[in-house]
Structure 1
Amino acid sequence: MAEQLDLPYSGLVSFGQRPFLTEPEQLDSWKPDVAIVGAPFDIATTNRPGARFGPRAIRATAYEPGTYHMDLGLEIFDWLEVVDFGDAHCPHGSTEVSHANIRERVHTIASRGIVPVVLGGDHSITWPSATAVADVHGYGNVGIVHFDAHADTADIIDGNLASHGTPMRRLIESGAVPGTHFVQVGLRGYWPPQDTFEWMQEQGMVWHTMQEIWELGFKEVMKRAVGEALAKAEKLYVSVDIDVLDPAHAPGTGTPEPGGITSADLLRMVRQLCHEHDVVGVDVVEVAPAYDHAELTVNAAHRVVFEALGGMAARRRDAANAKPGPPSPLAT
């Protein structure tokens, strides 16, 4: 009955049906390029909870799309070894313990030269996850391109320093990722207020609002954002809050904000970033499947991960093709 494992809707649950590993020693044996890890934590959510179910849904519920990338012209897993490294342990009601466990598990991956791709969880998980990546690659050496409807740069929300609206400020204040190393795309709506924008300006942050995207077009804003990201740091971490998408594309999230970008635009930008830059970490957060419709949000998040993997695979392929081979025996 081994054939049941080949079906996307039955058998064991792992991202993309990749090998499921649980122990660090298994990472040492497999030596993958990328490890998927879940961060099923959502008690930092300010509106609708449920993102703790995101990692399981992205793994199990998404339509299985195949692994050939039409636009890049490659079979992703021919160029990239990917495993599923399970979830960080996030006990209910324990923010500090959960965040510490997320940081430890991501560090276990990144310290081995493997790229962690983290499935959230609410956006507070970016604080421990990106910190773990900076622990490995050096504080100030990692930049973040952050797709979101909200800047997530609040100081404190309802007495909570670890809210899903505060992780980018925590990263900046800790020194893990300087404000000058942030590029944000898709901001819109009611938040943040003026005083928070002023703090962001003081930190040297760069952002592109939906109004700017509407005026200039997405391709121009994408060109600017990629250029800014490339100029700021040697390494790049990509953080995707699924609410950067318009709710028509991603209704299953805790804080849906009308007027967002399309899934087509997001997927192409994530692919380009991972193709053109040395990406050392990715997260996709705020998928709350209980509010989803027809699995629109789950499938969009699933494809974001596959576009990131496709970009990394194409980068590896291009590097391999650029290397000079041994001299031809027919050369004179």
Structure 2
Amino acid sequence: MKDIRYLKPAGKAIFQDRYTKKAKELLKEWKDSEEGAYGLVGLPLSKPSISHSGAAFAPGTIRDALQSYTVYSGEQKLVLKDDIIDFGDFDMHPTDIVQSQMRLYEGLKDIFQTNTVKNWFLLGGDHSVSYSAIKAFHKTYSSVGVIQLDAHHDLRNIEDGGPTNGTPFRRLLEEEILDGHNLVQIGIRDFTNALAYHEYATEKGVIVYTMEDIQTQGIRLILKDEIEKLSKRVDHIYLSVDMDVLDQAFAPGCPAIGPGGMDSMTLLQGITYAAQFEKVTAMDIVEIDPTIDFRNMTSRVAANVLLAFMKGKDLEKRWAVKEGIN
């Protein structure tokens, strides 16, 4: 067969700079018995969403968005070197929501119990996936606290709509998988929730910070106080990042966009800071609908959130070495 110059396989003709490594190159397909610092799993479920949502497509677009970034942090002068073991995406039932949620729970329980990685990235999907993910995480690690970055409480009653993306934390509290005092909600937004659900949060001991609290206190101070408190009560802390915590200007691909939310820099700084705490070991990212996004803006923020977490963990190692801990 004749050689044709400059020809590459379909989809492979991408410009490459010999000195630049793209963040997507950190993704490595999982092989049995392989161990690493980070694991990633896709949770492509969005049928339980109260409003129309194509969030099931988000795990793929977030992975692809990693191609937009390099592995070098110019701010901290560090290079991300740890691979992300990619376990793939779960296969969802075509029609049965409860069955799909059970598949996520059972599959994640299996994955967590492999003990192959130290830190977990879980890509939704709508926020209903957090019920299955945190339930499986609790089953494996037992003592768990959750920091939820979200515009909404997600404490809706089950009777009116079943197990939707508005009910994950209600279900976790009612099934006593999560203690209310071990749930911290940050970024709750004005005119986005009902009084009854604020009262329910108060009754259960949930710690709630509004967007006004973030403006007046600052994201780092809030995280410092709450992570230090949680660290005295639990062994692992799980971050649940609903991308609609961001203002609509920064996350046009969220089904529930609105004004008055967080800017992307605040979110990234918060994730980097939180990840520097040893007990923060898992994070989900939910509520991105790529079918309504603009230029993949929201998926690109999500990919940057992953890198911000990894940067935080590298900084944790750096401080540990400096203090002579390791």
Q: TM-score, normalised by structure 2?
A: 0.87
CA shift digits 1:279-298 (9 cap, x unpaired): 23210001111111122111
The aligned residue for residue 69 of structure 2 is 65
The aligned residue for residue 329 of structure 1 is none
Farther-moved stretch of structure 1 (298-307 vs 86-95): 86-95
Q: 2:100 aligns with which of 92, 95, 98?
A: 98
Q: Distance in 1 between matches of 2:76 and 2:196?
A: 43
CA shift digits 1:64-105 (9 cap, x unpaired): 21112233332222xx34211100111222212221222233
1:242-321 aligned within 5 A: 242-319=243-320
The aligned residue for residue 82 of structure 1 is 84
Q: Does 1:33 align with 2:34?
A: no
Report the AA paired with residue 110 of structure 1: F
The aligned residue for residue 155 of structure 2 is 153
Q: Distance in 2 between matches of 1:37 and 1:21?
A: 11
Report the AA paired with residue 304 of structure 1: V
The aligned residue for residue 128 of structure 2 is 124
Structure with greater helix share of residues? 1
The aligned residue for residue 210 of structure 2 is 209
CA contact (8 A) 2:23 2:69 kept: no
Number of residues paired by the alignment? Answer: 312
* Displacement after TM superposition at 1:58 (Å): 0.7
CA contact (8 A) 2:41 2:123 kept: yes
Q: Does 1:143 align with 2:151?
A: no
* Displacement after TM superposition at 1:61 (Å): 4.0
The aligned residue for residue 171 of structure 1 is 172
CA contact (8 A) 1:50 1:290 kept: yes
Farther-moved stretch of structure 1 (212-221 vs 30-39): 212-221
* Displacement after TM superposition at 1:243 (Å): 0.3
* Displacement after TM superposition at 1:257 (Å): 2.2
Report the AA paired with residue 288 of structure 1: D
Q: Distance in 2 between matches of 1:157 and 1:47?
A: 17
Q: Secondary structure at the match of 2:122?
A: strand
The aligned residue for residue 236 of structure 1 is 237
CA shift digits 1:94-136 (9 cap, x unpaired): 2122212222332233223323211110000001111111111
Report the AA paired with residue 309 of structure 2: A
Summarize the Cα distance change of 1:5–1:261 in structure 2 as closer, same or farther, 3 Å threshold.
same
Q: Does 1:21 align with 2:21?
A: no
CA shift digits 1:231-280 (9 cap, x unpaired): 44221000000000001000101111211011100011111111123223
Report the AA paired with residue 152 of structure 1: D
Which structure 1 residue ranges, 5 or more long, are not aligned?
326-332
Q: Distance in 1 between matches of 2:122 and 2:203?
A: 30
Q: Distance in 2 between matches of 1:49 and 1:282?
A: 21
Q: Secondary structure at the match of 1:116?
A: strand
CA contact (8 A) 1:246 1:260 kept: yes
Q: Distance in 2 between matches of 1:299 and 1:19?
A: 16
* Displacement after TM superposition at 1:60 (Å): 1.6
Q: Secondary structure at the match of 1:289?
A: coil
CA contact (8 A) 2:24 2:67 kept: no
Q: Secondary structure at the match of 1:290?
A: coil
* Displacement after TM superposition at 1:217 (Å): 4.0
Farther-moved stretch of structure 1 (291-300 vs 310-319): 310-319
The aligned residue for residue 328 of structure 1 is none
CA contact (8 A) 1:46 1:164 kept: yes
Q: Distance in 2 between matches of 1:6 and 1:33?
A: 31
The aligned residue for residue 5 of structure 2 is none
Summarize the Cα distance change of 1:292–1:283 in structure 2 as closer, same or farther, 3 Å threshold.
same
* Displacement after TM superposition at 1:165 (Å): 0.6
Report the AA paired with residue 201 of structure 1: T
Which structure 2 residue ranges, 5 or more long, are not aligned?
1-7, 17-21
Farther-moved stretch of structure 1 (88-97 vs 41-50): 88-97
Q: TM-score, normalised by structure 1?
A: 0.85
* Displacement after TM superposition at 1:213 (Å): 2.2
CA contact (8 A) 1:15 1:59 kept: no
* Displacement after TM superposition at 1:305 (Å): 1.1
